[in-house]
Each structure stands twice: as C-alpha cells, then as structure tokens.
Structure 1
Amino acid sequence: MSRKRPTIADVARSAGVSIGTVSNYINRTAVVRKDTEARIAKAISDLTYRPSALARSLPGLASKPDAETVSSLPRLLVTGYISVDYLCRVDVLPHRDDRTTAHHIEKALGGPAANVAVAAAGVGKPYGLDVQLATAVGDDPDSDWALAELSRRGVHALPIRRPFNNRLSRAIVIIEANGSRTIINEPFELSEVDLTSSLSVKSEPRPACLHIEGYHYERMIGSIDRFHEAGWKVSLHSTGLPQNARTPQSFKELISRVDLTFINDVMLREIFEIRTPLASMLQQVRDMLADVEKRGTVVLTLGELGAAVFADGSSRITEVPALAVNMVDATGAGDSFAGVFLSQWLHGASLEKAAQYAAMAASLTTTAEGAQGLVSTFSDLEAALSDSNLKASA
C-alpha cells in the first residue's frame, strides 16, 4: 500500500502547533520561537515533508521584511473565502446538455477574500501593509499550495478552521471570449466563533482594519462590534451578501455599522429597485444616503465606468474613471479594487486618491486571466496613471 504524502497539517500536528505557525517557519513570514522552530524542524524531518508546490515557488520568493518592519505597518485582517480556481477559457458558455472543448483549463488561487488580501499586499511601498487572511484550509496538497502562494504574495495566512470536507474549497470559473465569466463555487462558511476563538481582539498602536466578505456579514456582526470597541476600522465588500441584507432597511443598517462599504452598481440597483441611467442613479443614491443619520463611507463600483465615492458626513459625490483596457477576464476586478483602496485608505490617503488608484488596479486586473493573474504594485499604478494622461488626485 502506498504511503500518503505528508501535508503541512501533519507537520503541525506532530509539532503541536498551528498550521499558520508551520507556514511562518517555512516561509519566514513571522518570528517563531527557537523551541518551536526545533519541534517543527524535527517534525518535517521525521515525516520527510517535501511539498513540491512549495519547492517550485521558493526560487521566486521576494525577500521578506523582518517582523519588526511588518509590525510597524498598518494592519489589514481579511476574513473569508479562499479557493483553488479552475479557469476554463471557452468561446461562449455552453447551453444545458451541450459539450464544449476549452482552449485551456488552468489552476489558480482565488476566493474573494484571498483576492482582496493579495491585491492589498501587492501594492507595496509606500503603501505597504501587514496583511493577514483568516480563512479555512484543509489537510490536502491544494491547501499546502495555497498557503505557499499566499506567503509568496506577502499575505500571512491564519487558518482558523477546517472546511467541512477537510480540503481546500474549489471553484470553476468559465471565461468567455468577451471576458464575461460564470463562477461555480462550493459552500464556504466562517462564523464569529471561528474568528474570536482564534484571534485576540485588542487595540493596535497602528491603523488596523477588519475586512469582511458579504458572505459572512450576518455571522460576523458581533465581531464587528468587538473590533470597533478595540479601536479598529471595519470594511466590507458586498460579494455574497445574503438576501436578508439586500433590503433598503437592512442595507442602511449595514452601512451604519461598517466604516467602509464596497458595493457594485448591479447589487445596489437591485436593493433599491433603481431603474434610471447612471447620472440620475448617483443622485438617487446620494439622496438615499442623506436619510441615514450616521453611516460609513460607501464606495460604488461601476465596472468599466470607474467608481463613485459617498464619503461619510458629506453629500458630495466623488467620481473616478476606470482605465480603457482590452478586457480578458473580469473575475476579481471588484476584489482588486477593494484591496488597493484599503492599502491607500489605511495610510491616510484621500478617498478620491484611494478610489483613483483602486479603479486603475481593477481595470488592469481584467487584462489577465484569473483574479490574481495581474497584481499591481504602486509603481505599476503610477505608470498607468502617467500613460492615461489622468491627473493624480491629492
């Protein structure tokens, strides 16, 4: 009988530590105590742990900042979905009972929360962040691969629970020739208990933000309050927002509870039954928000038209354009927008500047296949701004 290949979870169990600690040790993304290092090293040796995916990724690893440098940066804790995405490129989505041959099928890291975290970490200096992803990973090789990929991209994974089937969640992304995509994903749930039982919620001496997916909003309401009490900001992007929260009253309660909300125009139109053209829609949204006594900032993403920002405590509408690009795949554009916006926002940039760079990053994301096929650095965004002849916002 063939022996099962050991995984990072096996190493963690043998060493008596968490999966995240083993990942930190392997990838040198955080300081690990000497005695813990010794236990992990022994477990790796005893189990002959050699993850091929990690080995392939090591030559491309950028030098990691030391722990003291990272701990001085603004902290972004993203919680939510990570998956292995299977990207299928076809000419057009097949009909029921049809069969089609894809141009290719590729494996990539995905999931809205993972996409946001990677985009935020990718911006780099002078908007570097200490980015962490609280998520669910299993004992399988795909989970090992995902942890290595996150580390390579500057994201520290915090595995706070195991998926129901003890393997990394999977998604199928069907991409058509015009860039449209259809996504089929598995169930993925995190609860407030998962988060608060795994992480201590305490005040930070630096800007800190908890970012939540719409999928988990209702189950994280208690955590939102606790993080606010500790002095953190809380942001949310609307991907997967449950139907219960998609009513005018529930949405107004959401934006009153959260400091920064990202929502796309399709969902906002659905919630408020808006059928008017863009210009009048923005006016309707402004009037609706004026009725909310106390709210956070709302960022409305408009796809190829850019974005509009409705700052808290203001009736002004700040519009920013997107870049004109040839779209290859729209997957993850909104996630990229949120990640880059957060990198600017946590460093104190103006909302207009944050939105401008975020809109450019989202546009650039669509020029490559996969949600993380193109991750923009700040120098990339500066170059795109220069090439577009747009004026940089203050």
Structure 2
Amino acid sequence: MTVGIDKIGFYTPGLALDLVELAQVRGDEPDKYTIGIGQSVQTIVPNYEDVVTMGVNAAQKILTDADREQIEMVVFATESGVDNSKSAAVFAQKLLGLSPFIRTIEMKQACYAGTYGLMQARDFVALHPGKKVLVIAADIARYGLATPGEVTQGAGAVAMVVSDDPAIAEIATDSVYMSRDVADFWRPIDSTTALVDGHLSTDVYKEMFLTLWQRYQDQTGMKLSDLAGFAFHLPYTKMGKKALDQIMDQVDADGQAFLRAQLAASQVYNRQVGNLYTGSVYLALLSLLKEGDLQTGQRLGVFSYGSGAEAELFSLKLSDGFDQVVAQQDVAGMLAHRQMVSVAEYEEIFNSQLFDSAVDSQSQAPAGTGLCQFLGWQSGERQYRIG
C-alpha cells in the first residue's frame, strides 16, 4: 500500500515588511539581509492571528466534505502553542467542522515536530486503510525588535492530508534520524521570544545533515544523483545552501547546476515569508513542487531539523499528476497581495500582541474576511471566529 501526502496547503497573514527597509532603519547594509541571510520580505503577524488561525486557514484551502468525513486524527505541530494544556488541534477540530470522534494532539520539538507528525500520520494510515490524517505545522518566529534574529522572523502554516492514495507524493520508509542535547535555540516558559546561538545552530544543522546523509546512503544505497532535489528546513534560505554545498562534489558539473537550480526553486516562498519553524521545510517542499523542474516518479530528499536538537532525512516519490494538484495552490498570488507595512507600523504591531489572559481584551480583527481570526480574551479563554 502506498501512503503519502495527498494534499498540501499554505497560509500566511496578509501583512509583510520589506527587509531592505528594515536594514536601512537598523543601520545595516541591505545585502547583509538579502544576500548574506537570503531573505527579502517577512510576514508580519497582527494581533488577530496565531497558530490556530493560521493552521485553520491553511487547512480550509484543501479540505473537502469527503476529507472531513475520513479524517481520523489531527496532529498539530508547533512551538508557538496558545495553551500549556489544551492542544491547538482541539481548537482546529471545532473550527474546521471535523467529527468529534477523532484524535487531536499537539506536538513540540522546535522546528522538527511537523516531520514527526507526518511520520505518525503515515504509520497510522498504513494500519487504517481508508482513513486520513490532517497534519498542521504552524508557527510564529519571534525574536524581538532590533535583535540579531529579527531578520529571520516570520510566520505561517502548512496543512497536509495524509492518505493511502496520495495525489502528491509517497512518503518512503527510508528515514534516518538523530537527536542531541544542544543549547543552540530555546524559549523558556516565561518568555515570548526565543533565545538563540546562531553560529552554533548553523554548525549543528550542517553537521547533522552530513551525518544523516552518510547514514542514509549506507542504509539505502542511494546516491545524490538519484534525487531530483532537496527540500531543506529553511530558517533562512542561505541555510539550505550551506548544507547542500557539503555534498555537491558527489555529482558532476551538470548535476551540481541542476541541484542548485532546484534549491533556488525550493527557496522562492521562504524568501518572501521568513521562518515558520515547523512549517519551514514543508513550505520549501511546496515551493520546489510548484517552482522546480520535476516529473512523475522522481524522488526528492527532505531534511528536517529542529534546534535543541533533532533531525531527520527521508525521501518522497512523486505521484502521477502531482503538478496538477499543487497547481491549485496560488501561493505566489497570496504573497503578492499582502499589504506592506513600514518599520514603524511593524514595531507597533509587534508590541500589540495580546499575551495577558488575565485581562479581557479585543483584537483588531476586521470583519467579513472569511478567515479564522483570534478575537481576544474573555474570562481567560481565547475567542475565535470564522467570517
């Protein structure tokens, strides 16, 4: 039986900041952001958006009534959870109109948890043919104003339906993975922003990729030339290049040129959004599927990394007609229609978030959008609406 990704959808809030403008205000050279880091624009999160709203909005783009009837489980991966007890998946279940007779769970391990959720979904469907699992990876990368990590902020959600007749790609059972206790990135319980050692994180990312690639080759016999490209976790787009450069000598000049072009295709959307933690690698995958040079039956490598640290490398085999399915997602159009804000407006929005559950408050949610929105706090409870 073939199990894999049947549908994939992406959502990011409708506000964005030009990073050239941010660099100028911060007194930095724009090339430091656009070339050195590899980011051009980042999504800005208004106070009426959170991981629940983004996850629901991404899922609404792909779910049909038939999907809702067949979904047996919702796995919500995030490191930006809205409650320390109640899973974001429970909120999503109600807002998406799913059956009460399903499992709903939230998972956390930095940026890696979406991959664990995808693997759990694959295993569940393999044991329960005809059932489907909804996997949501949603996050808000928030480091603080005028901090070293500010340029890599971002937000968004990727929703995937896993089934036993996947229209996009089969998830191979060839995973290799590893974990190490590393202090490269963390967010204490009492903090709304992350702490990060950027240089260490880059070093560990590269080291884990190289280690797992060697292990993957040993266990599968696959060569770099057997892959039509990679989807990397991209906290910033330059990170994928740093990893791939380590193994480029394993293919000839034509192979190197092809893989670089595929890497560039996988970076298109992340460059315009910023870091979305658990969803980052799957936004890169969607970008590669939409913008890359791919054909049915080809195999893609996927490298998922989460600081702290955990990583996994596996492959996907493209289904017949995958391009027609992903063509239905107009990501470029969504990104192009975002409203650009000034640095001053961005700073005001950044400071307007409603983190205090002890104070009844209302967000600035506009009416009539048709989207899921966070309305604010009432008696310590989060309030949501769709419409």
More strand by share: 2
Report which structure shows greater RCO (CA 8 Å, sep ≥6): 2
Specify the structure having the higher radius of gyration (Cα): 1
Task: Report if TM-score (shorter chain) is over 0.5.
Answer: no
